[in-house]
Structure 1
């Protein structure tokens, strides 16, 4: 295998092309005339990456790749040809039987189109979409025999083994539970995330910067059409889901005052004294200098149901059972009231990028550098 000498304007040792993926032109050479192994699926290229300490870069040609991609190799970078040009799609949902006739369903945690199970994974210039047709089910009336239970459908999951996951110029498309940040540090920049119900959730430490978070409509009128975040941050973690210099936007037909910024997720777990909502999951979501369109609910935050210690259902309060705050919000949806806690200006120093990411400096790739790599 001959390595391409294309590099970004960052560190020359980074972003050397090691393999290509093309589902329309397998066996092609790059513009430099170097022979590179070319795979017809992304998963095949990922599986072929040697286990080593060095970064391994796979460039992906334009096209629609209908597959699940599971990344277990540390230091792997996937570089697409641009949002909307390189599309990784799959349509698994939580209530779907594992196989025809099976009583076992996938469940939310096994629905992700792309699942990151390793450290130092980077995703650049591509679209990841869970293609489950949520709107079709949503249009069915309540009680319809064909209505599905388990409509969660994850586009991207950073799993328990993940840490230092980078998304740059990435588009994540889904409806309920689009992005599951289960563990570790994740940095999302210059990207776009679409969904409606709890579509950014989990107990990981994720920083979103210069990213558009876009709410999608529902089929029937309802007070709240969705919730942007559902953090389950553990109490001993200072950072949860942090949004800085982002924009909260909406698609057509999302009503004004219909989308809370988040609600507290207390996952049900098994303890020595029973199965009930994790008391140590005190979710944290923070919005700083973020534009909010008029769809953001005036109340700011909402309750979320969970299992009480005695087995009954209870509602977790966003002001008492979570750590929710904002500072410098602006736009039609930015409202000051007692239900929307504000960060103290003196605390803003705690939200410096290097502090949130605990010293990790993400290996960003300029658009010009990405374009050079994919030629």
Structure 2
């Protein structure tokens, strides 16, 4: 695993002390154009994919990534990989794929295969960079003819970062994660995000994993679609046996220009289908957990706060509605124009909020 002291020193060198100090740091791998000479010491690579492929299977691999657009789909499948970017906005790991687009194998990508970066190993860390799916959701929604539909399997779902089976104890510091629909998919293990930004418009933070968002910005993007005017921040599918799902602690819920007042819900409960002996239907063990603690909310947050989401029930009805009252949703200490006293669900007590914060801190980042 990564030595924590080395990780902090490397982060400070790249983020605060400028080029001279960064160049003095040493990394296992440095990804930069050949013409760049003002980079840290380390084995040089011309592209991110080759550098990740060189990571030792035993784990512990610190990689410095120069500013620029590093295009392609990448998988982190060895433990202890640390990515450190030169510039938070200009060091971009990016790809363009949506669920309804055709992949190189001739099939639809499907949501899970759209991810720009997929993590399947423990101890992944990233700092000072951007991970984006550059699919143009705005252009797709403005089409007047045939288009990818949000509620269709061949839709515009476009994942930027997916934490899949095998991922655990991940940490993101000062990382931007951008897309429109299904942006960030923490579906397994635990992850802490500190000082990050996640942007999107539709279920853009979703999955079954445990994620603590510590003082992050959660930005809702414009959705210019007359058939789909509503936005949704979170769609957790947390299993009942798992006490912590998506916890937003002291975050700022902001919006792009044009996002209407009262148009975005905090969360709705996702119940994904699973195969059982008697058929395939929404997993009854999925009872999503999401909590917003001491957050600042702009006026785009819907007064009701929470809403329902459909799933396929045991009889095969694909439009059975799972109500927020059947999930584990909570809010405490909200302030700002989007904070409302009368939500669909009652506010958490101070004791309940403290318990969630304590449990999330200990179980995820402790």
- TM-score normalised by length of structure 1: 0.86
Please name the residue that 2:72 is paired with. 67
Contact 2:303 2:343 in 1 (8 A): no
Contact 1:223 1:258 in 2 (8 A): no
Note the residue ranges of structure 2 that are not aligned, 5 or more in a row: 13-24
Please name the residue that 2:16 is paired with. none
CA–CA distance in structure 2, aligned partners of residues 135 and 253 of structure 1: 12
Q: What's the secondary structure of 1:214's corresponding residue?
A: strand
Contact 1:16 1:56 in 2 (8 A): no
CA drift of 1:360 comes to 4.1
Contact 1:185 1:357 in 2 (8 A): no
Structure 1 residues 189, 276: CA separation in 2 closer, same or farther (over 3 Å shift)?
A: same
Find 1:156's aligned residue among 161, 164, 169: 161
CA drift of 1:285 comes to 0.6
Please name the residue that 1:43 is paired with. 49
CA drift of 1:176 comes to 0.3
Please name the residue that 2:302 is paired with. 297
Cα RMSD (Å) of the superposition?
2.3
Q: Is 1:121 paired with 2:127?
A: no
Find 1:183's aligned residue among 188, 209, 225: 188
Please name the residue that 1:364 is paired with. none
Q: Is 1:348 paired with 2:353?
A: yes
Q: What's the secondary structure of 2:79's corresponding residue?
A: coil
Please name the residue that 1:229 is paired with. 234
CA–CA distance in structure 2, aligned partners of residues 56 and 224 of structure 1: 44
* Matched ranges for 1:314-333 at <5 A: 314-333=319-338
CA–CA distance in structure 2, aligned partners of residues 240 and 147 of structure 1: 30
Structure 1 residues 219, 340: CA separation in 2 closer, same or farther (over 3 Å shift)?
A: same
CA drift of 1:82 comes to 2.2
Contact 1:23 1:65 in 2 (8 A): no
CA drift of 1:7 comes to 6.6
For each residue in 1:278-311, what CA deviation from the matched residue of structure 2 results, as whole angstroms up to 9, or x when unmatched?
1110001100000000000001011111111111
Please name the residue that 1:369 is paired with. none
CA–CA distance in structure 2, aligned partners of residues 40 and 223 of structure 1: 42
Find 2:277's aligned residue among 249, 272, 284: 272
CA drift of 1:331 comes to 0.5
* Matched ranges for 1:157-176 at <5 A: 157-176=162-181
Moved more, 284-293 or 224-233: 224-233
CA drift of 1:356 comes to 3.8
Contact 1:169 1:191 in 2 (8 A): yes
Q: What's the secondary structure of 2:264's corresponding residue?
A: coil
CA drift of 1:232 comes to 0.2
CA–CA distance in structure 2, aligned partners of residues 140 and 216 of structure 1: 18
Q: What's the secondary structure of 1:351's corresponding residue?
A: helix
Find 1:106's aligned residue among 103, 109, 116: 109
Contact 1:140 1:147 in 2 (8 A): no
- TM-score normalised by length of structure 2: 0.89
Structure 1 residues 106, 295: CA separation in 2 closer, same or farther (over 3 Å shift)?
A: same
Structure 1 residues 221, 272: CA separation in 2 closer, same or farther (over 3 Å shift)?
A: same
* Runs of 4+ in structure 1 over 6 Å off: none
Please name the residue that 1:145 is paired with. 146
CA–CA distance in structure 1, aligned partners of residues 317 and 285 of structure 2: 18
Moved more, 214-223 or 251-260: 214-223
Q: Which structure has the highest strand share of the two?
A: 2
Structure 1 residues 29, 217: CA separation in 2 closer, same or farther (over 3 Å shift)?
A: closer
Q: Work out which structure has the larger RCO, using CA pairs closer than 8 Å and 6 or more positions apart in sequence.
A: 1
Count of residues paired in the alignment: 346
Please name the residue that 2:246 is paired with. 241
